[in-house]
Structure 1
Amino acid sequence: MIYFGTYQFVKPILLLKDPDLIKQIAVKDFDHFTDHRTLVPENIDPLWGRNLLTLKGKA
């Protein structure tokens, strides 16, 4: 199985297991996957609050 979906409580999550698919999404198609979950608020820790994994799309 290359990928599968599951739920974290009520939020759907996609889990990837194929390294080529991960590279495709993480490098080439990264700008299409915005609005990720915020792990640490930006005002608490600016380094983790403004990294690539927590980018927000245009409002």
Structure 2
Amino acid sequence: LVLEGVRARQLQDALLMDKHMMESEIQQANASLNFFDMKAARIENQVFEILLRPGAETRRR
């Protein structure tokens, strides 16, 4: 019975460690997603600025 308790505790600790690692990976993925969203918005703004410049009509063709 004591051995089962020790194994259960070890399993619980391992699962908790996995949970923390997954949370960290999710946090890193969210940070990357936010970064790429900002980068895409910046590129989009640059494209619109280029298209709205005087003379841009001739460059589009």
Do they superpose with TM above 0.5? no
TM-score by length of 1: 0.23
More helix by share: 2
More strand by share: 1
Q: Which has the larger radius of gyration?
A: 2
Structure of higher RCO (CA pairs closer than 8 Å, 6+ residues apart): 1
